Amino acid sequence: MSREQFWFFHPFRVRYSEIDGQGVVFNAHYLTYFDTTITEYFRALGFDQYADAQTSGIDFHVVKSVIEYKAPVRFDWELDVGARVARIGNSSLTFELAIFLKSGEDALVTGEIVWVYTNQQTHRPVAIPASIRTLIATRERHLPA
């Protein structure tokens, strides 16, 4: 993945508490970086996912997480984490994510997160509404509105 594939980035600085005995970011922290970036992605779109879930009783569940480590990420590095919606299904969103050194071009880590829009009482999938699809398509030009 390359930097130009993303319109949205969220900055991070690797904290000492996030590295392991090898001096690189401990593997579980990459999912935190991705999750935080997705939250900020929706904030940038003007969508309050938390408020929507409280009102509608429908929210997204993570059903798949994939991380591919291409290079180590070390303490005190300044990072940009890119996020984009690569695909919208009937009830699912597939995010592609990549971690870059601040202003770097090569992805150090890439990932895929799949969410399913789910009724919070039944835990069954429901269709993603047109309003959310349209909102995402305003920035993700490769997706149909």
* CA 115 and chain centroid, separation: 10
Distance of CA 35 to the CA centre of its chain: 5
Instruction: Give me the residues paired with residue 85 across strands.
Output: 95
Q: Measured between alpha carbons, how far is 55 from 75 in angstroms, rounded to an integer?
A: 40
Nearest CA-CA partner of 42 in 78, 95, 90:
95
Place 133 in a pLDDT band, splitting at 50, 70 and 90. very high
Q: Look at residue 92 in the predicted model and tell me its pLDDT.
A: 97
Residues 2, 71: Cα–Cα separation, whole Å: 15
pTM for this prediction: 0.94
Residue ranges in 46-117 assigned as alpha helix (H): 49-56
Place of tokens 């290079």: 71
Quick one: average pLDDT of 41-48? Answer: 95
Distance CA 52, CA 112 (A): 24
- Within 10 angstroms of residue 64's Cβ, the number of other Cβ atoms is 11
pLDDT of residue 144 exceeding 80: no
Answer whether residue 103 shows pLDDT above 90: no
> What's the pLDDT score for residue 145?
62
Per-residue pLDDT band for 108 (boundaries 50, 70, 90) equals: very high
Q: Which helix (H) or strand (E) holds 37?
A: helix 27-45
**Percent of the chain clearing pLDDT 70 (strictly above):** 99
Q: For residue 84, what pLDDT is reported?
A: 98
User: Over the stretch 69-94, which tens digit does the pLDDT of each residue have?
Assistant: 999 999 999 999 999 999 999 999 99
Measured CA angle at 27 (ends 76, 68), to 5 deg: 105
